[in-house]
Structure 1
Amino acid sequence: MIKPFRAQYGEYDNSHALLTWDKANGELPTSLLGLTDKPQFPTSPGEVWWPSVGCSPIEEWWALWWTTPDEKAKRSGMAKSEVAIWRIKDIGSIDDLSPFLEELCGIEQILSPPNSLLSNTAEALLSRSQKQPVIKDLDLWPGLLAALWKQLWPSAREHFSVCVAGQPPQGGEWQANPILFGTPPTRAQHWSHYPIFDGNTALGKIGRGALWLSGATDDTIDEIIHASPETGPALININKFARAAAHLDNFRDNNTPDSALSFLRTIATLAPQISQANQLKQEALEVVHDHIQNASAKFINALANLDSNQIPANKFLENEISTWIGTRLIAKEASDAVQLLSFLEPDTQQTWWQKSIQSALTKKLTKLSPKWATATLQWVALGASIEIIQSLLSSSSSNEDQLLAVADGSQLPNSSFPIIREFCKRLGWSRLHAWAAGKESSPAVAFTIQRAFPTSAMDGLVYLLNSLPGKAVLTEYLSHPESTPVASVAQRTVNDSSLIDSLDPAVDSWRRLWAEHIQHGGATWPDRVDTDTAKTDLLNAILEGGTSYGLAKTLAEDLSENALAFPQLDKVLSILPMDEQTALAKQVAQVLITKVNAGHTLSLPSPYVLKEVFKELILAPPSAQFIASLFQWDANIEEEAVRKWLTKLSGDEIATISHILGSHIQALSWKKIAQDIYKRSLHERSLKKLANSCSDLLPILSQLRLKFSKTPSSSIDPADKKQLLLEIARLGADTVTDGLHDLWERAGGKRKHLELYGTPESQWQHAVFRAEDGKLKGGVGALLEALEKEIPHNQELKELKDMWQLLNRKRRLF
């Protein structure tokens, strides 16, 4: 125990003065002189103002004094004081003032205050009142000070200041403001606005801290104080100890995460450093750890203001919170989740807590699962913390897909749909925006709302076209055909063909939809549409410059008969794109061919159709009837094409068109065809007439044969006979240039009947005519036999021989 310095004050030369001082080489503060004097208030005769006991820090000292009347003073009314003085740095270690008080007053034991007085005083000291408590019993006053002192901690002792006064302070009387006053009972009326007590004051309501300050045993408060660092001199800090003790008791009694957190938060304010009160903090953290995964969202929120610089093993809390978010949050009420999200507003909560929440949420909201998608949509629907959700949620199309997948089953109130739409605008989610618009409004209004979407309105528009009632979709398309994806509308009509029962090919938007409908596999002709009328309307629409959208190609086969009969088909075909023009012309050509073959007489077709006709005739040669029609149409036909066609026809078939065919062969000088006909006529009697009709185009030999085969001998023109003889002579001259004389002899003639000079041709002509005149036995026939031996395989000779024999047969007949 550190012993104090001692000083005495009393009367000296009729004044109050320092009489003795242990530490002669040091000066006492001058203010101590006034503090140790008689209290400064008027007293009436016999009024007791002592003992005037007080204490206070004074500069570098802390003084405790006991003042009483000085009976030995020469001057009446003087006071004497015994003073114990410590250096202020040492007073904190003094645990008991009683021995020093007893030494100062010279008695063996000072009176102990009753429990009621001590407790009432302690309660008043710990209250938040601006008025200090006043004790109106000076006999109990020293013992009260000693009792309170025992519970104080060092800094509180260093600042402990009390005194006796006759009236409330006016200010400036003391270096350290007293926290407690003593006053004579006779002066009590001067303290009417202060809490005033004596030994008879009834015990009031006493708090836990006041009980401890008054000396009651409280192990929990002692544990708190022992674990806590120095908290400053103010006695009101005892209330913090008491609250912490209450939280600690509650925590240990209930062992719940809420009670653990309440205590943890309280002890952290008393012991703000991680290393301080570490054991108590760890005790609470263990309970939090054991129960956090089953905790409420409110509890997780309550962790948000825990300072990571005050809590040991904070990393564990971060991990536990992240785990809780990932596994528990979506099971909580949406309102609880949104409340938690609101705690993520910047600079509103502890950074470590916000980062733990954000990290866990980002993992879940980057790629939504169905459950997280449902929860997220419910959070957004509440309209709170929208910016927070937006900052965490990936705006990927896959997340939009997940939200759409769960949207219909989310059972959201109507009031949420405008909120969801605004949220979708932030993230550029056109389809989810459309879903909300469709839920919120009529189809017509939903389409209008969606068209106003700021970025990609089209994706959401397609969503509405795929999801709203079919009739509403059709109405929207017909109202806005240019800005409505027709392919989506067509998908609806394919599934419900009744939607296009009102098809009007005269209207551009209908034609466009019709084309898409067919392209997507829809029925070509709606059940309730008059197909003939629709076909004609389509052709008229094209004629008037309307876009066909590929219908002329798609429906070419169906349109072909109507198109063939359409008066202005040629113009229609000229308007169409090449692929449609070709497709329709081809189908019309096929119908045309069929009809002509069936005996129909048709007028000249369009050049586009005729072009396709010729293509068809390459694949399937025409009938005789169709060839005749081609001639009637004055079609530009190549001779070689007709030659090929005729080879596929029988003589009887060709004979049916012999008149028109013959005239065209003659008119076009088709010698090859004439020759083909002639050759076939040799063994197909039905072609004789046709061959004769174009005989002028034949070689002379062929002409002669035709004449001989059809003309009686008596009617044979001598010129024709002469021509035959000349042909025989020509062939002989060409083939047997030098051997005529030998050949003549072999035929049975005599050389003397032949010319000896002249060209081979003139010699042969002379020989042939001499044979005809009888100068050769067997005549011309014998000459031909001899020539045949020279050129046995000559086809022309064979033909000449046949004609000569034919001529002779006719002679014999006639």
Structure 2
Amino acid sequence: MVRSEVALWPLEEIGTVSDLAPVMMDLAGERIPAPPTELLINLADALLETAGSPPVVTGLVHWPALIVALWPQLWPEARRNFSGRAAMTPPQRGESVAPPLVYAIPASRALQWPGRTHITSSAPPSSPSRGAAWLAGQADAVMSELFAGCASHSADLAFAKKLARAADGLEQLRQEPGADSALALLRTLIAIAPGQGLAELKREALAVLQGQLANAGLMTVIGLANIKLSDIPEAATPSEALSAWVAAQAAQLGDEDAERLLEKVGRDDANAPEAWWRGSVRQALVTGIQQRSADWGRALLRWLAAPKPAGLLDALLPDSPTSEDWLLLLADNLRVSMDHLDTFREHCRKRGWSRLHAWGVSTAFHGEASIDSQLAFVGDPLPGLAYLVERLPGQLVVSKAVAAANSGLTTLAGKRTAREPNWLEGLDASHAGWRALWRAHLEASGVHWPQEVDRNQLAGQLLDAVLAGDPSDPLIATLATDLAATALEHPQRAQLWKRLGTTGKKALLSAVAATLLQRISAGLATPTPETELAEAVIHQVRSGRPTAIIITALLGWDAPLAEQEVVRWISSTQGSEWLSVAEEVGHHVQRRGWGQVASEMYSLCRWSKRELRPAVAACVGLLSRWEQNLFLMLYAPTGQKKHLDQETLARYVAEIGADIAPDQALDYWERAGGERKWISHTSRPDAQWRDVANRARHGGNARGLTALIRELRKDYPNNDTLQELSRILK
């Protein structure tokens, strides 16, 4: 006999039981371990995502553990509705028992359950939905917040999917606020919490919706039509934002969208929008049309051609228009005789309606005659000129702007060529009219150079115009970088700086200086700059780290440089930079008599930048006598080295000894193998050192000066001069 034990609860009580583990362990007689995480997540995912037949857990090993682990995540309504069944074979047709939410079967029976979603412990973890992860016990603060805010919860596990959709929508809204995401979230919140539930989150979605609706599309606006006021917080109705959208966007809608909107507003049947939505849109349409703007006029013309909204338009359409904008938009559809057109033009002149006048002359005349007539308009011709410039052929507009020398027309033509630069292909910078148009074109953010033009020729023409008395500062300032190469080679370059205005001069000088520096760096031949250009080059050099070739060029120009800044520049260079220019820079330093620079180069060439030795050799006379001798003994290029006599060496040894160890001459003499008795104990330190050095030179000790230097180096191993003397004595 098989004994079975079960646990039973009343259905109305089971929802409050949050933990089945104690009872399940009592029934099993042993501890129930936690199921594999991926198995639990896969089960939760299948419960939410599987449509049709219930999913199947293949293998009974973890079945009790899955129930125990899943149960705490269910809410009371879901617990009362939850069912899982262990089975051997699939249910047969005609079963009277409703299927469970999930089956568990022995692994050996898996083939008998085809067409099902099988969940196994060996299956790799899927990519679970957010709802599944939450249902499997993963922490999700947003999901929990939404769940807690719902006044009631559906018994269907799909409720978790709605929560997840709301959570995703809420996070997306907070990360990237937008009208569409706000509306989608609002709909989801209403679906899971109708009435006043989740009021704060609904208010948050509505706040974004109201703030972003101005940029939303029509379908978002229509999507608001079935939002009931009873499902959103009081005072949060997006009526004002909806009205603002209609006022700003309705007149811009295409024919199909406009028809869709107007049909929606005009419905009064079972499928009609909510009253608040219909009233807001209707009133906004009335207000917009009453403005009599050009957009609303265009919209009305389109709407009147559409069959469906005709009845609504009868109620919306106001009196005849009287503003120029309104008439201008309607005028394109007028069919009048020439006599009527002349009368219309006269009315435009009386009322100062420049654009309507332009429409009239463009209908009455062709080509340049329409522009001439508009230029003669009494009042402000520019609005009408703008109308014509946008509609007449580009070549005609450009040629007229160049010839007419009218600043207003030129400005408008420049805006046209900025969008259509091909009309500038005939550009002639030697002509004042073309230069004015080029300037207007650039001010309208047009491309600097039309295609298929000779840039060098245009640049030369522009610079020649400057020399002829037209500073063209805005043009020069904008094109400075492009003009730099031509300006650098211009035979009258120095005169340019005198003819240019402040802005153009500053921009072109800077660009030419940069070009000159680039050529110097590339090793190309460059002209000697005049004072203004040299100063601009130096200004740029001082803002960076000049290379050896640039330093050499600056010194060769006799540029007004400070010796100390050249010292800094040279110390910051790389030794390899000096291979080709070291001797030249040395000659420049010698010519300027810059002892500090010579000393710095000498110091650098001793240890780190040997490439500077030719430079030092060229200006060695600027060094101290001692530095000259050391350089010529140790560092001079081959063929320039010389040897020092012993007397000079002894003098240098005495000087350095008196400098670094003034009171220890007798000690070092004795350490070097000499006898104290030969040295006066009462002489001054420098005299003692001279006596010691001379006696060492004449063999007063075993190794002479070499031994004396050796003993000094023991105590002063890092002294550069001692090291160099040691090298010489070897």
TM-score by length of 2: 0.52
Q: Does 1:665 align with 2:586?
A: no
Contact persistence 1:364–1:372 (CA under 8 A): no
Could you tell me which residue of structure 2 aligns to residue 656 of structure 1? 580
* C-alpha separation in 1, matches of 2:390 and 2:355: 11
Contact persistence 1:443–1:468 (CA under 8 A): yes
Could you tell me which residue of structure 1 aligns to residue 184 of structure 2? none
Matching residue within 703, 707, 720 for 2:628:
703
SS at match of 1:446: helix
Contact persistence 1:365–1:372 (CA under 8 A): no
Matching residue within 434, 440, 463 for 2:364:
440
Amino acid at match of 1:783: L
Contact persistence 1:744–1:750 (CA under 8 A): yes
Amino acid at match of 1:485: L
Could you tell me which residue of structure 2 aligns to residue 468 of structure 1? 392
* C-alpha separation in 1, matches of 2:694 and 2:475: 77
* C-alpha separation in 2, matches of 1:365 and 1:652: 79
Q: Does 1:636 align with 2:563?
A: no
* C-alpha separation in 1, matches of 2:642 and 2:348: 107
Contact persistence 2:509–2:533 (CA under 8 A): yes
* C-alpha separation in 1, matches of 2:288 and 2:525: 80
Offset at 1:444? 3.6
Matching residue within 387, 406, 409 for 2:333:
409
Amino acid at match of 1:807: I
Offset at 1:371? 8.1
Offset at 1:374? 7.6
Superimposed CA distance per residue, residues 333-360 of structure 1 (whole angstroms, 9 cap, x where no aligned partner): xxxxxxxxxxxxxxxxxxxxxxxxxxxx
Contact persistence 2:655–2:689 (CA under 8 A): yes
* C-alpha separation in 2, matches of 1:699 and 1:599: 34
Contact persistence 1:741–1:754 (CA under 8 A): yes
Contact persistence 1:373–1:403 (CA under 8 A): no
Contact persistence 1:631–1:664 (CA under 8 A): yes
Could you tell me which residue of structure 2 aligns to residue 557 of structure 1? 481
Root-mean-square deviation (CA, aligned residues, Å) is: 3.6
Offset at 1:753? 0.6
Superimposed CA distance per residue, residues 451-491 of structure 1 (whole angstroms, 9 cap, x where no aligned partner): 34333232222222223333332343233323433221112
Could you tell me which residue of structure 1 aligns to residue 528 of structure 2? 604
Offset at 1:364? 8.1
SS at match of 2:469: coil
Could you tell me which residue of structure 2 aligns to residue 509 of structure 1? 433
Offset at 1:649? 4.9
Superimposed CA distance per residue, residues 485-505 of structure 1 (whole angstroms, 9 cap, x where no aligned partner): 322111222344343232211
Superimposed CA distance per residue, residues 207-258 of structure 1 (whole angstroms, 9 cap, x where no aligned partner): xxxxxxxxxxxxxxxxxxxxxxxxxxxxxxxxxxxxxxxxxxxxxxxxxxxx
Matching residue within 428, 434, 446 for 1:522:
446
Q: Does 1:500 align with 2:424?
A: yes
SS at match of 1:781: helix
Given the superposition, is the C-alpha separation of residues 787 and 471 from structure 1 closer, same or farther in structure 2, using an over 3 Å criterion?
closer
Report percent identity of matched pairs.
29
Offset at 1:430? 1.9
SS at match of 1:447: helix
Offset at 1:755? 1.4
Question: Is there any run of 5+ residues in structure 1 with no aligned partner, and where?
Answer: 1-361, 376-391, 810-814
* C-alpha separation in 1, matches of 2:632 and 2:459: 58
Could you tell me which residue of structure 2 aligns to residue 370 of structure 1? 297
* C-alpha separation in 2, matches of 1:363 and 1:659: 82
* C-alpha separation in 2, matches of 1:501 and 1:742: 91
* C-alpha separation in 1, matches of 2:672 and 2:463: 80
Contact persistence 1:589–1:612 (CA under 8 A): yes
Offset at 1:406? 1.9
Given the superposition, is the C-alpha separation of residues 632 and 688 from structure 1 closer, same or farther in structure 2, using an over 3 Å criterion?
closer
Offset at 1:510? 0.6
Contact persistence 2:484–2:508 (CA under 8 A): yes
Given the superposition, is the C-alpha separation of residues 743 and 606 from structure 1 closer, same or farther in structure 2, using an over 3 Å criterion?
closer
Amino acid at match of 1:727: Y
Given the superposition, is the C-alpha separation of residues 571 and 764 from structure 1 closer, same or farther in structure 2, using an over 3 Å criterion?
same
Offset at 1:512? 1.3
TM-score by length of 1: 0.47
Could you tell me which residue of structure 2 aligns to residue 752 of structure 1? 677
Matching residue within 685, 690, 698 for 1:773:
698
Larger radius of gyration: 1
Could you tell me which residue of structure 1 aligns to residue 405 of structure 2? 481
Given the superposition, is the C-alpha separation of residues 407 and 571 from structure 1 closer, same or farther in structure 2, using an over 3 Å criterion?
same
**Aligned pairs for 1:43-58 within 5 A:** none
The alignment of Structure 1 onto Structure 2 pairs a total of residues equal to: 424
Q: Which has the higher helix share?
A: 2
Offset at 1:408? 0.7
* C-alpha separation in 1, matches of 2:601 and 2:595: 10
Contact persistence 2:629–2:644 (CA under 8 A): no
Could you tell me which residue of structure 2 aligns to residue 799 of structure 1? 721
Contact persistence 1:512–1:549 (CA under 8 A): no
Q: Does 1:762 align with 2:705?
A: no
* C-alpha separation in 1, matches of 2:356 and 2:722: 97
Q: Does 1:808 align with 2:720?
A: no
Q: Does 1:716 align with 2:640?
A: no
Given the superposition, is the C-alpha separation of residues 528 and 696 from structure 1 closer, same or farther in structure 2, using an over 3 Å criterion?
closer
Given the superposition, is the C-alpha separation of residues 405 and 740 from structure 1 closer, same or farther in structure 2, using an over 3 Å criterion?
same
Given the superposition, is the C-alpha separation of residues 549 and 400 from structure 1 closer, same or farther in structure 2, using an over 3 Å criterion?
farther
Could you tell me which residue of structure 1 aligns to residue 513 of structure 2? 589
Question: Is there any run of 5+ residues in structure 2 with no aligned partner, and where?
Answer: 1-286, 303-318
Amino acid at match of 1:560: A
Given the superposition, is the C-alpha separation of residues 764 and 516 from structure 1 closer, same or farther in structure 2, using an over 3 Å criterion?
same
Contact persistence 1:768–1:780 (CA under 8 A): yes
Superimposed CA distance per residue, residues 408-457 of structure 1 (whole angstroms, 9 cap, x where no aligned partner): 11222222222222323443322112222322334444334333433323
Given the superposition, is the C-alpha separation of residues 363 and 739 from structure 1 closer, same or farther in structure 2, using an over 3 Å criterion?
closer
* C-alpha separation in 2, matches of 1:714 and 1:497: 68
* C-alpha separation in 1, matches of 2:632 and 2:420: 76
Contact persistence 2:338–2:364 (CA under 8 A): yes
Contact persistence 1:374–1:403 (CA under 8 A): no
Contact persistence 1:625–1:657 (CA under 8 A): yes
* C-alpha separation in 2, matches of 1:439 and 1:546: 39
